Amino acid sequence: MTKKQKMALDEIMNADALNGMKMFNGNLVVRTNGKRTFFTIESIESAIKTMSEKSGKELRPRIIDLVNFCDKHGEEDPKGDTGGSFTFVARNLTEEQAYED
């Protein structure tokens, strides 16, 4: 991986996940290390509100934070892929529909 590619990846992984979800008007599917997690805009907003109130400061989840959450708490992905991906999906899709390719 070149230095330019590493910088681009770092910028993506540190991007504000909620802002991206709102910009694309989509929910988010994260897959990593054989696990998967489905995030809705509302679930992220609720978690942010709760965590911000507890910490006393406004928090913003980065893409990398959601990838790490998925790695620790995600459900087993039947595909068993060991790579990683994050995909914005239409808000009207159910969780199972969102997991389909």
What is the tens place of the pLDDT at every residue in 42-64? 999 998 899 899 989 888 888 88
Where b means 16+ CB within 10 Å and e means fewer, 59-89 reads eebbbeebbebbbeebeebeeeeeeeebeeb
**Number of domains present in the structure of the chain:** 1
Question: Average pLDDT in the 12-24 region?
Answer: 87
**Which phi and psi (to 5°) does residue 77 adopt?**
-90, 120
- Looking at residue 29, its pLDDT comes to 94
96 secondary structure, DSSP code:
H
pLDDT tens sequence across 75-86: 999 987 778 888
Residue 88's domain spans which residues?
3-99
Q: Greater confidence, 33 or 81?
A: 33
pLDDT in the model for residue 34: 92
pLDDT grade for 89, boundaries at 50, 70 and 90: very high
pTM of this prediction? 0.82
Q: How buried is residue 2: exposed, middle or buried, by Cβ count under 10 Å (0-12/13-18/19+)?
A: exposed
